[in-house]
Amino acid sequence: MKLFVIAGEASGDKLGAALMAGLKSLVPGVAFHGVGGPLMAAEGLTSRFPMEELSVMGLAEVLPKYRQLKRRIAETAAAVTELAPDALITIDSPDFCLRVARAARAARPDLRTIHYVAPSVWAWRPGRAAKMAQVIDHVLALLPFEPPYMQAAGMSCDFVGHPVVAEPHAGAAEAAAFRETYMIGPDQPLVLCLPGSRRGEVKRLGPRFDEALMRLRDREPGLRVVLPTVQGVAPMVREMSARWPVAPIVVEDLADKRAAFAAADLALAASGTVSLELAASRTPMVIAYDAAFVTWHLISRMLRVDTVTLVNLVSERRAIPEFLGPNCRPGPIAAALSALLENDALRAAQFEAMELTMQRLGEGGEDPGLRAARSVLGALGR
């Protein structure tokens, strides 16, 4: 069995790796081809080009790289056509992945196509599901309320849970060791700074996050900051954060990242999958996000929900404060962080929302990567 798998960013790389591990356990000898990052490479994928080339988001961000992305779409579609896999599995990154699927399906009408991560049509642009159904047969959904939206558009869909619920977490011993290694006292406030996994996000959010944390340190003089990062943006993060007045501890190693999540008192994070990682480690959080002016103007006009934070959406509560677009300003962010440090009731509300979120996403059940693998095989009639 041979599969062509495409992921375009760090979160997709994580999903792809979990799916690949699940498939390998069910189908010995399965062969993988395509595009992915280091986690998928560890499962046996040799990426056709660096995944980081695809880690761009939004109109203003994509336009300067349009020609390069268009060339990669053509190259990737041609590779799918030549390989003639049992299925093309695309993971998130719809601007790239669905264009590849369309081109590959045009060349091979019998190609089976599976997309991992349902488009958030419940949040904005509901027409995306019908458009996706033109080139996708089956969808793997991360959220329990998504399958009906996909099925209504004409695709089969399974809720497979989110890999975050099955990932290992650091315990109290690792958290204490992390604080000891970096000489952080047990009573010193420790804040995670998570400005995103894309270069554009880090460039835009990094300075604002730094200013918010400087203001927080004025109220909490002993404050320490940890900035976990990923391979694609690590050099940029280290160079940028070296100039910050509140110099963070930058960690790239996965074990250090998990220990930092366990050791932290709270986090300031960009909107996205990271909110679920924080929920899994039961780390209280404040969410903030902004995009280029044109991108944000378009998105804000199309939003159909009152929150974009996944913990709020899955738990059906509004415990996580968020500062989006024009509201993504250091002053209010710092005030929310300070309140979260000082107010036990706010923290308790977040813990309840995080617990409910993890339950609904499948914590304690079968590994989501294995569930996703079973769904893929079921869609292929195997």
Domain ranges within the chain, ordered by starting residue: 2-162+365-379, 172-360
Return the structure tokens found at 220. 């909490």
Give the mean model confidence (pLDDT) for residues 172-177.
96
Q: What does CATH list as the number for 172-360?
A: 3.40.50.2000
Higher pLDDT residue, 262 or 246? 262
Report pLDDT digits (tens) over 177-231. 999 999 999 889 999 999 987 888 888 999 999 999 999 999 998 999 999 988 7
The contacts of residue 110 (CB under 8 Å, 6+ apart) are none
How far is residue 374's CA from residue 182's CA, in Å, rounded to a whole number? 43
Could you give the C-alpha distances from 365 to 165, 281, 310, 361, in angstroms and in order? 9, 17, 20, 9
How far apart are the C-alpha atoms of 44 and 32, rounded to whole Å?
7
Residue 23 has pLDDT above 90, yes or no: yes
CATH classification of 2-162+365-379, choosing from 3.40.50.2000, 3.40.30.10, 3.40.50.300, 3.40.640.10?
3.40.50.2000
pLDDT score at 294:
66
> Percent of the chain beyond pLDDT 90?
72
Indicate the pLDDT class of residue 302, thresholds 50, 70 and 90. Answer: low
Contact 4, 85 (CB under 8 A): yes
- Antiparallel, parallel or unpaired: β 156-159 and 224-228: unpaired
For the entire predicted model, the pTM comes to 0.78
d(CA 160, CA 158): 6
Average pLDDT (228-249) is 83
Smallest CA-to-CA distance from 37 within 24, 50, 48 is with 50
Instruction: Tell me the residue type at 269.
Output: A
How high is the pLDDT of residue 59? 44
Q: Are 361 and 161 in contact (CB under 8 A)?
A: yes
Q: Do domains 2-162+365-379 and 172-360 have the same CATH topology?
A: yes
Give the separation between CA 37 and CA 14, rounded to whole angstroms. Answer: 8
47 dihedral zone (left: phi>0; alpha: psi -120 to 50; beta): beta
Give me 252's structure tokens.
């790239």
Pair 188, 223: CB distance under 8 Å = yes
The whole-angstrom separation of Cα 246 and Cα 244 is 5
What is the predicted pLDDT for the residue at 64?
61
The better pLDDT of the pair 202, 287 is held by 287
Q: Check pLDDT > 70 for residue 96.
A: yes
Contacts of residue 167, defined as CB under 8 A and 6 or more positions apart, other chains included, come to 277, 280
